[in-house]
Structures are given as C-alpha cells and as structure tokens.
Amino acid sequence: MALEIRDIHKHFGPVRANDGVSITVGEGSLHGILGENGAGKSTLMKILSGFYEADSGAVVLDGEVLTLRSPADAIAVGIGMLHQDPLVFLPFTVLDNFVLGSPGPVRLDRSNARTELERVSTELGFSFDPAALARDLTVGERQQLEITRLIWLGARVLIFDEPTTGISATQRIQLFATLRALAEHGMIVLFVSHKLEEVEELCDSVTVIRRGKVVFEAPMPVAPELLVEEMFGKVFVADEREPVALGGPVLRLESVSVDDGKTHLDALDFEGAAGEVVGLAGLEGSGQRTLLRACAGLLTPTAGHLSVDGVDLTHVSYRGHLAVGVHYLPAGRLEEGLVEGISVTEHLVLTSHDRRFLVDWKGAEAAADRVIDEYSIKGRPSSPAEALSGGNQQRLLLAMIPEDVRLLLLEHPTRGLDVESAAFVWKRLLERRTDGATIIFASADLEELLTYSDRIVVFFGGSVFAVRDTASTDGEELGYLIGGKERV
C-alpha cells in the first residue's frame, strides 16, 4: 500500500495555498509534514480527508485514483483525519460519539457498539467509560476516542493535524507510542506539525512545505538546522538577550488571597522589579492564570494588598489597573484579546488615546499601515481579526500594548506560533523591559521559560511550590517541580 499525492493545486482567492504539491508515502510509514503557520499543510490534509476539493491534481492510494468529494468519500477508502481540536460532540456520551456517522441499520444497536468500542480500544491500549460524556474527557482522551473510531471504520491512512496542541506531556508520550504502534501495523501515519522537535522525535521521513510547495523531502534523521532553513527559507538565530539592570519594585503582592472559583491562591507574597521577566510555570490550572488575572484586576483579592508602583490596586477595577499601566494579554487571543468581526484599523482606533468624537479614518488607516509594517503583520488594515493567523493576531495584540506600560501580564505568549513569530514576539516584549516594565508570563514551554525569564515561579495545586533563579536551574529540575516533587 502506498499513498501518492500528485501535483495538488488549491487556491483561495488570490492565495495559492497548495501550488503543485506531490508527496509519496509508503506502507508502515510515520511521515512528518513540516511547515510554518500558513505554509499550506492544513489545506493539503483537508484535501486528503475530503474537506476541500482540490482545483487540480490527484490522490492515489494503492494505485487507484481516488475521488474525494466529501469526508464520506475519504472514510470509505480508509483515509481518516484527526483534527487539531478533536471533532467530538461534547454533550454526547463516549459511545454515541463512537457510533455517530457510522454505517448500519436504522435501529441503533448500542450494546453491539459497546462491544465493538471495547474490542477496538483494548487493541489500541485505551480504555473508556462508554457512558461518560465527551465533555468530561481530556483533549488527549478525545483524541484516543477519535483514533479508536477511525480505526474501527477501517482507516488505513491516518492524518494527525497538530495533535500535541493542548495535551499534557504524559498524554503526548502516550500519543506518540500509539502513532508508532499504528505505523508498525502497516498504516500510513501523516503527522502534521510546525514543531521541529516533535517531528525529529517521531517520524521516519519528512516533507517540508513552504508557501504551498514541497521544498524538502528526506528520510529522518535530518540535521535540525537544515529543517529550520527549509521551513523558513533562512537560518534563524535566537537573539541573545542582553542583561538589564533591575530597578525598584513595580509589582508588590502582600499576603494576597484570591479565588477564581476553581483555583484558590492563599496568602501569596511576591515582588516584581522594573526590567525583570518572571516566568510562571506549572500544570494548567495550578494558579498561574489566577495570579495573572488578579494582577490584571479581573479578580478581586479576598485578602491582602496588591500594588503597582506604590499605588494600592487591591480593590481597584480593571480600568483602574489600565490607568496605572497594567496590561494583560490573555491566552484566548480571539476570545478575550481581540474583537471578532472588526478590522485591524478599528482595533487600533479602539486602543488609541485619541478622545475626539469623530474618528479620523484616513489617519487611522495610515497608522494601521505603519503598524502592519512595523510588526510585519500578514494582513491588510481592513482584515478582520479572525482572518489573521494565530501569529499575526499576537503581533496585533503586541502593537496594541500602550507605550507607557509598567506591568505586562502574558498568558502563553507564543502558544501555537512558529519559531519565527515566537522570536519576534519576544524581541518586542524584551524591548519593553529595557523601558523599565515588569513582565510576568505563564507558559507551558520549559524552553521558553528558561530562555526568557530572570526568575521562574513554579505553581503546584494552587500555591507557589518553588521559586528559582533561571541561572541556577534547568529543564530537568523544572520538570520535577512542576510535578510537585523536589529533584532527588
């Protein structure tokens, strides 16, 4: 069995998302498809799985040219896709999610389906409670459920689109083991990612896509520098960060207690100095977000005192925090950070300090053009926020940070961004540090924490578990601390 993608073309308006892509993958192969955000990998996978129809070109499986008009066609020939956000039905049970869309008689035989679910999931080494609701599963378990379903439907080619977004480290290890096992059983596994290290760790061979074209193909291992060069078209060097002399304290927390309904932080003392970068580490929901939101003024502390530049902000509203130079960039860029449906220009007008009644749209558009240029945002002044890719949304958010910011609070500042965008984001952020701002950021990426922080605060189970100077710790120790253990 071999999968052959022949000269696929697909354009959206003037954008050539796929411009003559050809890839051949053999049986039992774990093949990585690597490329930066917007390179055209997702489009190609959606063509393979029947979501899109290609403008021209062919997909050939086992020497047979396939007609892929809809996902139904793809499933029928054994091509299954696991989407970045697993497409499960949250209020439905695991069992109903498993059978939904499967062929069979009108009357649904749930007891038979339960047996099948058990059989296939056991073969794959998963275990499910068929009666549990999908919403109570973790993202990793939802993926397992989808894998089980696709295998049951007879998938021979499995496509994984950025499957490691939003799952824990343990689940990632388990997922990778599953993918290897699937390939060993003779399946074709396509692993789509923009994360170099994952492709290095997992894949037997790799195809790099850049601007809709295949630019590189080779069996693994391949030198990482070479892959980076192929992905971005130039060798990328992370900027060495210059040391900045720390100033006086900007943020001060005195035995602050705060509760967001899920996590409770108790009697927390903390200080952030001017020019300091503090990284917040920990498993999701350990208290990092609670701290950030308390500092931003979105949660009111139940006890203690919180001040910025000596101004007591304990019971001051979000607006009051903004007034003294506190700025918060939430993880949900489109949900909380930007407004869906309004353009880049309009966003910049919303955050400008211009208090005139009438908006000078000409001037605003010119200003937007300048910002787009300065932050290399791929988009036009009239592009609505949701039309920008994740990296470009983050660039727009950066552009919206006021000049005189004193305390910058960031939640997963580079999540989902490719290496180049992430480096850009940090370059811009570190500039603020030189101006004497304090930066506090939460991240799940240990490398990011170690590269950019002066100090790392590790949260565990709703309290500060450890504080380390970045110079005196390493990734291994952080791994232990995040898990709530001291290094042995």
Partner 1 sequence: MENTLNSIIAAAAPLVIMTMGESITEKSGVVNLSLEGSLRLSAMTGFAVAFWAGHAFAGFVAAAVVGAAIAAIIAATSIRLRLNQIAVGFVLTLLAADLASFLGDSLVGERGPRVPPLPIPVLSDIPFVGKVLFDHDLVVYASFLAIAVTWWHFYRTRSGLNLQGVGERPEGAFARGIKVNTLRFWYTVLGGAMVGIAGAAYSLDIKLGWRETLTLNLGWIALAIVIFGGWHPLRVAFGAYLFGALQVMAFQLQDVFPGLAQVLPIAPFPLMILALVFVYSSWFRRIGDRLPRVRNLFGSEAPAALGTVFERE
Q: Which residues bind partner 1 (CB under 8 A)?
A: 46, 49, 51-52, 70-73, 75-76, 81, 83, 87-92, 96, 99-102, 104-108, 133
CB contact set of 363 (below 8 Å; sequence gap of 6+)? none
Strand partners, 475: none
**What is the separation of C-alpha 465 from the centre of its chain, rounded to a whole number of angstroms?**
26
CB of 46 to partner 1, least distance (A): 8
Find the shortest distance in angstroms from Cβ 388 to partner 1.
16
State the minimum distance, in angstroms, from the CB of residue 96 to partner 1: 6
Cross-strand pairs, 56: 9
CB under 8 A, 24+ apart: contacts of 126-133 = 128/94, 129/94, 130/93, 130/94, 130/95, 130/98, 131/93, 131/94, 131/95, 132/93, 132/94, 133/90, 133/91, 133/92, 133/93, 133/94
d(CA 33, CA 375): 28
Q: How many CA atoms lie within 13 A of 157 on its CB side?
A: 25
Comparing CB distances to partner 1, the nearer of 50 and 330 is: 50
Beta strand spans in 117-166 (E): 157-161
- State the virtual CA torsion across 171, 177, 180, 185 in degrees, nearest 10: -110
Considering beta carbons, is residue 73 or 477 the nearer one to partner 1? 73
Cα 173 to Cα 186, 203, 360, 415, distances in angstroms: 21, 14, 54, 19
Please write down the long-range contacts of 390-394, taking CB distance under 8 Å and 24 or more positions apart: 390/37, 390/333, 390/416, 390/417, 391/37, 391/416, 391/417, 391/418, 391/421, 392/421, 393/333, 393/334, 393/337, 393/338, 394/333, 394/421, 394/425
Cβ proximity to partner 1: between 85 and 284 the closer is: 85
Nearest CB to partner 1, comparing residues 108 and 218: 108
DSSP lists the bridge partners of residue 33 as 192, 207
Q: Which is nearer to partner 1, 39 or 398 (CB)?
A: 39
- Angstrom distance (rounded) from CA 220 to CA 206: 7
As measured in angstroms, the least distance from the Cβ of 384 to partner 1 is 16
Alpha-helical regions (H) of 203-265 = 224-232
Report in angstroms how near the CB of residue 132 gets to partner 1 at its nearest.
Answer: 9
Residue closer to partner 1 by CB (options 124, 133) is 133
Minimum separation from the CB atom of position 157 to partner 1 (A): 15
Q: How far is the CB of 174 from partner 1 (least distance, A)?
A: 23
Nearer to partner 1, 89 or 361 (CB): 89
CB of 363 to partner 1, least distance (A): 34
- CA distance readout (Å), 249 to 119, 213, 268, 322: 60, 51, 16, 18
Closer residue to partner 1 in complex, CB, 102/351:
102
CB-nearer residue toward partner 1: 73 or 271: 73
Residue closer to partner 1, measured from CB, 99 or 397? 99
CA distance 440 to 466: 16
CA distance 268 to 258: 9
> Which amino acid would we find at residue 299?
L
State in angstroms the smallest separation of the CB of 289 from partner 1: 20
Report the SS3 class of residue 121: helix
Check residue 472 and report its DSSP letter: G
In this complex, which beta carbon is closest to partner 1, that of residue 133 or of residue 367?
133
Residue 73 beta carbon to partner 1: minimum distance, rounded to whole angstroms: 8
CB 125 → partner 1: shortest distance, Å?
Answer: 24
Q: Are strands 249-259 and 264-273 parallel, antiparallel or unpaired?
A: antiparallel
Closer to partner 1 at the Cβ: 133 or 342? 133
CB of 386 to partner 1, least distance (A): 13
